[in-house]
Amino acid sequence: MTTPTTTVPKGLAAKEAALRSLLREYGPMAIAYSGGVDSAYLCEVAHEELGERMRPVLADSPSMPRSELQDACALAERKGWGLTVLQTSEFENEDFLKNDGTRCFYCKDELFRVMDTFAKEQGVAVLAYGEIADDALDPTRYGARAARDHKVVAPLAEAGLFKVDIRTLSKLRGLPTWDKASFACLSSRFPTGTRVEPSEMSKVERAEEALKRFGFHQYRARHHGDLVRVEVEEADLARFADAELRQSVLAALRDAGYRHVTLDLAGYRTGSTAD
């Protein structure tokens, strides 16, 4: 929590005050939590305003790397948020598995269905998730359609909070997620039109864990059958000039199950599997 001596820029202070007001108006809520920048900040502020009436819910499925799950659970435990981990079944839905470009809708639809059941059991009327003001600019976010269908509220977006705002506010209050890299579920590593298979998902997870071990901050292992296309930030591309690092990455990604490893010279970017 921010301290009295912490200086919060006036504009951000007003946005956070608006968020607090919204949370008080909504009252008891279940929040979709992933351990990422946005949902962690939302849970932190909601916990301050609502206490135990804020119930974070983390959806676990093959799309969630085990390391991300562990980190998210550890943060929630340290904060005393009373996290509930629920299993979701999107991998039993053929509409999700065929990955035709609307995959995110079916994933979020399943998440909100499970959350709705949980909330009703807990006597909670409001579902919330971490959509932010930036997301309104991205027409590919089919999850927002699922949120509307389930009447899930987005307090961060309603308060006008952008990603840069949330990172700044998270840093001021000491949240370790303030500089966390952007993350999307492992299913997003499969090109549109390529069927999502749990057995192949494990290869992606092992490849990305290897990139993490080598110290890359923002990265993706894009799955193309026997080939993995590695994306890292442009500033990190030069690291591959080091022959020892290059060979080590190559060996690790082959151990993950890939026959061919290629480096994308365009660098990390969101949505490149839909190109």
Tens-place pLDDT, residues 86-144: 999 999 999 999 999 999 999 999 999 999 999 999 999 999 999 999 987 666 678 88
Q: Are residues 174 and 199 in the same domain?
A: no
Domain-located, residue 80: yes
Q: 222-225 — which CB contacts under 8 Å span 24+ positions?
A: 222/189, 222/191, 222/264, 222/272, 222/273, 223/189, 223/190, 223/191, 223/194, 224/191, 224/194
Least confident of 4-13, 34-43, 164-173, 240-249: 4-13
Residues 45 and 158 in one domain: yes
DSSP H stretches of helix in 140-269: 143-149, 155-158, 163-172, 198-213, 243-255
Q: Could you list the residue range(s) of the whole structural domain that residue 164 is in?
A: 10-179
Domain count, the chain: 2
Domain boundary among 130, 162, 179: 179
Query: Residues 165, 48: one domain?
Result: yes
Could you tell me if 234 and 145 lie in one domain? no
pLDDT of residue 138: 67
Task: Measure the CA–CA gap between 158 and 155, rounded to whole angstroms.
Answer: 5
Tell me, yes or no, whether 2 lies in a domain: no
pLDDT digits (tens, 9 = 90+) for 16-72: 999 999 999 999 999 999 999 999 999 999 999 999 999 999 999 999 999 999 999
Q: Which of 156, 179, 202 is the last residue of a domain?
A: 179
